[in-house]
Structure 1
Amino acid sequence: MNPHIQRAQMLYQRSRYADAERELGMALQVDPHEPWAYALLGACKAAQDDFAKAEELGQQALALAPDSADIRHLVARIQLARNDLPAALKSMDETIQMAPQNADYYATRALVYSQMKKWGKALADCDAALEIDPEHVGAINVRSHARRAQGDTQTATQELRQALEVDPDDPYSHANLGWTHLQRGELKEAELHFREALRLDPDLEVARVGVLETLKAKVPFYRWVLNYFIWMQTKAAGAQWGIIIGLYLIYRVLGSIARNNPSIAPFVAPFLILYILFALATWFAKPLADTALLLHPFGRLALTPQEKREGAIVTILVVLVTVLLGAFFATGQSVFASLALLIGAPALPLAMSFKFAPKKPRRILQGASAVLGLISVTLCVYLFTSLNLPDGLVQLMGQVLGISVLGTLIGTNILATQRWQR
């Protein structure tokens, strides 16, 4: 193999992507048709979130070496990182057809199936990988994740301890075991394994997120919300929608019962309030908890600048709307309720956009926030100045703002159940 490619592989494994790219550039100067140079260059681009270029380079590598199972496998890993699961699955099916006795390939396809939440197929591929290599740490990790998703945290824990016996310094095994302990409510053990994973690999995102969630889960209310998040993440998109719609229908039925039966309304009202708090908590608990972590010495270090900034924005908006609603209930002055709606309606999609990592859903929600913000500003000018607007237009804008709250909740859930390519 070209020595530049050998050095690039070592640099890539050490996350020195820019240095690896320089070596690969020199390799291509020596041989412009070297498929491994294109494939590794694609992997470097994917590691730096330049997925469009990564995919292009991967396809160039495949065009030069269509019969190479290893290159096809690397292209599948790029597609998996991009969240293009159908393409990754197709590539892995072709890879395994070309080389059916490679444990790495079955472990990667199992990972694709696990991302698709097809737990039975993921377990089958893990078993196939472990038949070839009984100590394949990657396959053990994916299998334990599938076990945990199916609620079998005890077996998942046992398997991860087995993986750590094989490789005590594998950061993914420590992080995976941390999430298993977190799901079991064993916060101390979870934090220990997340910290060990970060010691072994300071850039391991799944461990960084895990340790933050563990710190926040020490607050009982957030632990309840986190358990819901973890449980929902194990469900396919259709099942998630069934749960969301089912909860909403129960809310509507209870609301109807309360309206038609005033005598039992006081008993139903707490359940309605709990539903509203639950719906809001699923979107606002994380940024609010991130802001609270600024008071924790380790949490403050683990939060990214973006998380700190977005948490602060959400906290300010929530406090402001809460104060205005409190003033309305205390004084009965409708102007406070109007201001709460005028601020809260555009603030809601803005705050919810922060939950998404992919750019497209963030931009959709932030675009909705900008439109609602423009309506709110127009209504504020109308209310507090001598601006003349047609009564019909004012009424329409008020209705849009009122409906936007429910529309934002429904729309955000639609966006959340989609799989967005990176």
Structure 2
Amino acid sequence: MVNPSEVILRAGTLLRMERLADAERELRGLLAVQPEHVTAHAMLALALVWQGRPVKAVSESQEAIRLAPDHPYPHYVAGVVYHRIGHTDLAIGAIEASLALNPADARTWKLLANVRLQRDRYHEAADAARRGLALDPENSDLVSLLAKIHISLGEGEPARAAAAHAVRLDPESATAHLTLGQAELAFGAPRRAAESFRETLRLDPGFDPARELLVTALKLRNPLYRVLTKSRGHLGGWGMLGLLPLLPPLIAVFVLIALLHWAAWVAESVTMLRLTLGRATRLLFAGVEARTALVCCLLVVAGAGVLALGIGLGRDTVGTAGVAVMTLVTAVQEAAHTGSARGRAILYGWTGLLGVTIAGSVALGSTSAALLSAYAGLGTIWVAAGVRRLLRGRQAATVQPLR
């Protein structure tokens, strides 16, 4: 005998755990027995849209509304589904229908604030977030959302204050730490931003957006990079690279920036390895971060050893190859801190190609190939930036509305 209440409770837990296929199976089992169970249809819509099946998700949410048009939850779920697939107008319509039936639901006000923020209607988004907070003032996610709105409006102090308040409300929230980092990054504190992004990754190692933001924060700690970033905006993006043949001194600036980034990545690796091995902090960092730090430290040691061997043997190719091995730290760290799985695969492939080239330069006795590999390793900061931008653009282009 199926107990609907138990199935709904179990499915809700599975959704929160992101075990979406298991939640779908539970809900379909209930619907096989009670095909007009409103909550099961609505929750199934959530499980489907989060699995990337928008057409069926819309169908289930509309079925829930058909069965219970005077109940706010199906309208709320429809708003979530439409927001997820980028139909903001339909999302707002569904949300407003839900609020008309129950204006005292903080999560619905939060959803409305998110949709309005997506449409760049910042003041309306802030109003919706405040309406939600009036109902649930201890909601850390709502406070984080209000902080993001302040960031979008360019309001530095309110953004920092709201983000810090969100962290105080829920110190274990990865979202709260991410938002605090975004606020610090947006208003000129990249060092504090990096600390927040590290904490985000400690709490949720799979939080990919934090990886790329950490890269940005670490780069912006470099004063030359900050100047270059501002200049690049005035000179038409990456077109500044086209000026290198006309302005040779810029080459030295780019090399210096790359070297400073390499030094920062080495320092990051040493710090992470020390925290991983420390008795009091060894449980805070594990997995990819620890392995990446170990690999990078080993690359520095191995590269220095090969460099010393080359000097001792009087072989320029071997010594240059040692330098090139050390520059692989930049390539490994840039790959590891790329949010997109496809981007990581591309950059790890690039790193492997550099490693093969370095080994080949030694085998063939080609100092020039080893030197070019060293330059390419250091220059991975720009290769990685290009890969991230390309993949981000393609991802945005694939978001198409349903017909």
Q: TM-score range by the shorter chain?
A: 0.5 to 0.7
Pick closer, same or farther for the CA change 1:396–1:316 going to 2, 3 Å. Answer: closer
State which drifts further: 121-130 or 34-43. Answer: 34-43
Pick closer, same or farther for the CA change 1:315–1:17 going to 2, 3 Å. Answer: same
Matching residue of 1:225: 218
8 A Cα contact 1:361 1:415, kept in partner? yes
Indicate which of 218, 224, 233 corresponds to 1:242. Answer: 233
2:134 counterpart letter in structure 1: P
Q: Quote how far apart the aligned CAs of 1:22 are.
A: 5.6
Partner SS state of residue 292, structure 2: helix
2:257 counterpart letter in structure 1: Y
Matching residue of 1:128: 128
TM-score with structure 1 setting the length: 0.60
Pick closer, same or farther for the CA change 1:140–1:369 going to 2, 3 Å. Answer: closer
Q: Quote how far apart the aligned CAs of 1:254 are.
A: 12
1:134 counterpart letter in structure 2: A
Matching residue of 2:57: 58
Distance 1:44 1:281 in 2: 45
8 A Cα contact 1:4 1:27, kept in partner? no
Stretches of structure 1 that go unaligned for 5 or more consecutive residues are: 80-86, 214-221, 233-237, 260-268, 384-393
Q: Quote how far apart the aligned CAs of 1:302 are.
A: 1.9
Q: Quote how far apart the aligned CAs of 1:301 are.
A: 1.1
Matching residue of 1:142: 145
Q: How does 1:292-331 map to 2 (within 5 A)?
A: 292-325=274-307
Is 1:23 aligned to residue 5 of structure 2? Answer: no
Distance 2:55 2:267 in 1: 39
Indicate which of 318, 330, 337 corresponds to 1:355. Answer: 337
Distance 1:170 1:57 in 2: 34
Matching residue of 2:401: none
Indicate which of 81, 90, 95 corresponds to 2:91. Answer: 95
State which drifts further: 350-359 or 124-133. Answer: 124-133
Deviations 1:168-220 (A, max 9, x none): 89957864786589777998xx99xx79xx9xxx76977xx89xx9xxxxxxx
Distance 1:185 1:400 in 2: 31
Pick closer, same or farther for the CA change 1:366–1:177 going to 2, 3 Å. Answer: closer
Q: Quote how far apart the aligned CAs of 1:289 are.
A: 3.1
Matching residue of 1:266: none
Q: How does 1:408-419 map to 2 (within 5 A)?
A: 408-417=380-389, 418-419=391-392
8 A Cα contact 2:258 2:381, kept in partner? no
Q: Aligned pairs, how many? A: 356
Deviations 1:277-308 (A, max 9, x none): 33335655544432232144453212132221
Superposed CA RMSD in Å reads 5.3
Pick closer, same or farther for the CA change 1:155–1:56 going to 2, 3 Å. Answer: same
TM-score with structure 2 setting the length: 0.63
Is 1:155 aligned to residue 155 of structure 2? Answer: no
Distance 1:352 1:5 in 2: 44
State which drifts further: 4-13 or 155-164. Answer: 155-164
8 A Cα contact 1:346 1:368, kept in partner? no
Q: Quote how far apart the aligned CAs of 1:142 are.
A: 0.9
Distance 1:177 1:372 in 2: 36
Distance 1:141 1:366 in 2: 34
Pick closer, same or farther for the CA change 1:150–1:106 going to 2, 3 Å. Answer: same
Matching residue of 1:82: none
Distance 1:258 1:17 in 2: 51
Distance 1:300 1:405 in 2: 30
Partner SS state of residue 281, structure 2: helix
Matching residue of 2:273: 291
Pick closer, same or farther for the CA change 1:177–1:290 going to 2, 3 Å. Answer: same
Matching residue of 1:108: 111
Matching residue of 2:248: 256
Matching residue of 1:69: 75
Q: How does 1:161-180 map to 2 (within 5 A)?
A: 171=173, 175=177, 179=181
Q: Quote how far apart the aligned CAs of 1:413 are.
A: 0.8
Matching residue of 2:8: 6
Q: Quote how far apart the aligned CAs of 1:364 are.
A: 1.0
State which drifts further: 370-379 or 328-337. Answer: 328-337
Distance 2:360 2:164 in 1: 60
Q: Quote how far apart the aligned CAs of 1:121 are.
A: 3.0
Stretches of structure 2 that go unaligned for 5 or more consecutive residues are: 67-73, 397-403
Q: Quote how far apart the aligned CAs of 1:125 are.
A: 1.0
Distance 2:191 2:372 in 1: 46
8 A Cα contact 2:335 2:348, kept in partner? yes
Distance 1:173 1:370 in 2: 34
Is 1:365 aligned to residue 347 of structure 2? Answer: yes
Q: Quote how far apart the aligned CAs of 1:409 are.
A: 2.8
Distance 1:44 1:251 in 2: 51
Pick closer, same or farther for the CA change 1:240–1:27 going to 2, 3 Å. Answer: farther
